[in-house]
């Protein structure tokens, strides 16, 4: 059963400018593993914008309650390239309240825009 669906978009250039203006912003929005590629290189702005959009979409799928922490949601990628969500703390607590058992996430970025869709399934 679908419990919630969220979608979000982020303008890549605007998101990158925000990261440049406020260097500590990346540490507030992302866990360490989200900031780097498996090779250890720093993840690009388009990829980070898509991950931010996923976190926004995740909040919407949960009904956008206050009090969720950005660092309590992590976007990670399987070896196959499939993005996945890992939730802890405040996000996991809200998901448990709603009966969420699994997540589906899709990320994309093109033409200056990053987007994400998240489906919460119970």
Tokens found for residue 82: 């499939």
| CA 61/CA 8 separation, integer angstroms | 11
Burial class (CB in 10 A: 0-12, 13-18, 19+), 52: buried
Residue 8 marked as a ligand binder = yes
Q: What residues have CB less than 8 Å from 20, skipping those under 6 apart?
A: none
CB atoms closer than 10 angstroms to residue 115: 18
Q: Binding-site residues for Mg(2+), please?
A: 8, 56
Q: Binding-site residues, please?
A: 8, 56
């Amino acid at each position: 059963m679908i419990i919630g669906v969220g979608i979000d978009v982020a303008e890549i250039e605007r998101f990158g400018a925000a990261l440049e203006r406020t260097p500590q912003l990346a540490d507030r929005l992302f866990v360490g593993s989200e900031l780097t590629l498996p090779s250890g290189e720093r993840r690009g702005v388009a990829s980070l914008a898509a991950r931010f959009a996923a976190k926004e979409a995740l909040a919407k799928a949960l009904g956008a309650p206050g009090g969720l922490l950005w660092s309590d949601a992590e976007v990670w990628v399987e070896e196959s390239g499939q993005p996945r969500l890992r939730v802890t703390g405040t996000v996991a607590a809200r998901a448990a309240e709603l009966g969420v058992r699994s997540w589906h996430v899709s990320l994309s970025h093109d033409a200056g825009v990053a987007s994400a869709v998240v489906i919460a399934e119970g």
